[in-house]
Structures are given as structure tokens and as C-alpha cells.
Amino acid sequence: MTAAVRIADVSQRYGAALALDRVSLEIEAGEFVVLLGPSGCGKTTLLNIIGGFAEPTEGTVLIGGRDMAGVAPKDRPTTTVFQDYALFPHMSLRDNVAFGLRMRGVHRASRASKADEMLALVGLEGRGDRRPHELSGGQRQRVALARALAVEPDVLLLDEPLGALDLKLRRQMQDELKAIQRRVGTTFVHVTHDQEEAMAIADRIVVMNAGRIEHHGPPREVYLYPKTLFTASFMGEVNRIPVQGGRAPFGPVPVPDGTLLIRPEAIRPTGSLHIGLCKVEDAAFFGTHVRAHVTPVTAQDLTLVVHLPQSQLPEAGAVMDLGAETYVVLTK
């Protein structure tokens, strides 16, 4: 089924190191939440704490309103899809998927049919008799998903499940994960370090860094209106321009003091924020856009990254008049 998850002031200490620092988060039932961040940021630790594989040094975890302190993984309404899938090699796919049901004492016949049902849900219909080693990476991943969902958990935890797949397969799996989540309605908590993946599937992205939550919100908000510098740079390339006394290095700007953040694709020939004349240092064709480095004529020390439409490929030395429509200012 589904349930809400409430994480309150959770800290995790390993000796002197602080893996999680007073993290608080409310996840709604049926939400697809992605924990995003670089390695070591604490996202996997947090996932393990929700799943019961680690006990927090401080703080509480509530799932469906129930306090999970001292509750073992097998007694929690959660199941996990592991990074290496951990399919049992000596069992058939059907037996793998039915394992959780077997643990709950479900009859052989009914758990076999439910397992076949789940395999069909993930697109592996009729393959119940195969063994894990006969499948490709992507297929094993689906079996792991089916196995985790077969017991109808309230919360499904996914630990970088798509990491081992190539790009095309990853994109396909992202779409399928999203579709399956919508169908079953279970709360999904998904860990990844890939911001594009996060944006593709999340209802809400939780950006983490050094054991803390930097920003959480829908992908659009986190990308266009990041609340911290770290979030801004982690979500994608961004130009950072210092603003002091209403002035940026290239001229006056109608924004408060702080750091002005402009995404490369937000820089256009026009815009409410005027940057001015810029000289093109270099430009390269990137397929969907042209990526160029430009230097404002009035601020020779500043280099901006700009994404131009694919039809424009300026020469080095060309001069363009640029501005920005969307931007964010982070004040101290």
C-alpha cells in the first residue's frame, strides 16, 4: 500500500564523523522522492536508516505514524531495491519474486500467481522459470523491483538502482519506474547522484550535501529557483556573478546584493536583466544547443557560459548583445 514518512532531527555519527546532521524531512504518502547528492553526502545513510539497516544516533523515523525505533528491516513496511540487485542466484525468477510472500506464509499456489503477476507488471511476463544469470542487467533490475513490490510495501527504497545501466537503458527504466509508481501508488524514495535522473522521475527532489539537506522541492523549483549555492551548481551548469551595491562586474543590475545566478540557457539576446556586449571566446556544437564562453566587454575578467540555439554558431571574436530573463539572487 502506501504511507507517509516522517524524519525528525535524524543524526548519524560514525565515531568522529557526522554522516547526517539533524536532518528533517516529511514525505507524503504516494510521493516519488529523490535523494540527490554527491557521494558521501549521506543520502544512502538516510535510506538505510529508513529501511532499518542502520539505527540513527539521534532523532526519530516515523512511517505511517509509527515510530520505527528498534524495528528490524523485516518488520518494517519497507522493502529495498539494492544497487547490485541481490537476486538469489539459486532460485528461479518466480521464487525470487515470491520470496517475501513465502516469508509471510502465503500458500505456494497463490504466491506463484502473484509473482507471475508482478513479473508481468515489470515487463517480464512468462519468464518465471528462468534464473537470474540468464538475464541482462536491465532485466535483473526489473526482477528486483518486482520482488520488492510483491509484498506491497508502504514505502519502496531504491539505492541507485540504475547506476549499472547504460544511458539509453537508464532513460527507459526511468520512464518505467515513474509509470509503475503511478500505478501502484506506493511511496518511492530513490537515491541517485545523477541530477538529470532526479529531474526525470521525482515529484520532489531532496538535494543533500555533507549530511544536510540543502533544498527540497519539485524539480522545476529546485532547478530554476535554488535556495543554496550548492544546489544551484549541483543541478546543472550555472553562472555565478557577485553583486555589490546594485552593481555587477559588467554594469548596474536591478537586484539586491549577493550572488546572481544565471543558467547558461537563460542568457538570450534580450532579457529584463541586461548584461551588455559580450565577446565570444569559443563556441562548440553540442547537438541540442551551442555552448559558448563569452566575456562581457565591460568586465574582461568575467567568463560566462552561454547556451545558444543550435542554428547559431558564432566565430571566436564575434560580439553579441546579451541579457537574461530568468535568474535568482542568493543573499548572504
Q: Which is nearer to another protein, 105 or 317 (CB)?
A: 105
In whole angstroms, the minimum distance from the beta carbon of 2 to another protein comes to 18
* Integer angstrom CA distances of residue 153 from 95, 122, 158, 194, 230: 18, 16, 13, 26, 34
Q: Which is nearer to another protein, 116 or 214 (CB)?
A: 116
Interaction site with another protein (CB under 8 A)? 51, 53, 72-74, 78-80, 82-84, 86-90, 99-100, 103-104, 131-133, 147-148, 151
Q: One-letter amino acid identity for 148? A: A
Q: Which is nearer to another protein, 87 or 205 (CB)?
A: 87
270-273: long-range contacts at Cβ-Cβ below 8 A with a sequence spacing of 24 or more? 270/323, 270/325, 271/322, 271/323, 271/324, 271/325, 272/323, 272/324, 272/325, 273/323, 273/324, 273/325, 273/327
The Cα 104–Cα 91 span in angstroms is 18
In whole angstroms, the minimum distance from the beta carbon of 91 to another protein comes to 8
Judge whether 143 and 97 are in contact, CB under 8 Å.
yes
In whole angstroms, the minimum distance from the beta carbon of 101 to another protein comes to 9
Q: Which is nearer to another protein, 84 or 129 (CB)?
A: 84
Q: One-letter amino acid identity for 119? A: L
In whole angstroms, the minimum distance from the beta carbon of 99 to another protein comes to 5
Q: Which is nearer to another protein, 148 or 222 (CB)?
A: 148
In whole angstroms, the minimum distance from the beta carbon of 238 to another protein comes to 37
The Cα 208–Cα 103 span in angstroms is 35
In whole angstroms, the minimum distance from the beta carbon of 332 to another protein comes to 43
Q: Which is nearer to another protein, 19 or 278 (CB)?
A: 19
The Cα 10–Cα 184 span in angstroms is 29
Nearest to 151 by CA among 1, 314, 273, 327: 1
The Cα 86–Cα 159 span in angstroms is 12
In whole angstroms, the minimum distance from the beta carbon of 143 to another protein comes to 12
In whole angstroms, the minimum distance from the beta carbon of 83 to another protein comes to 8
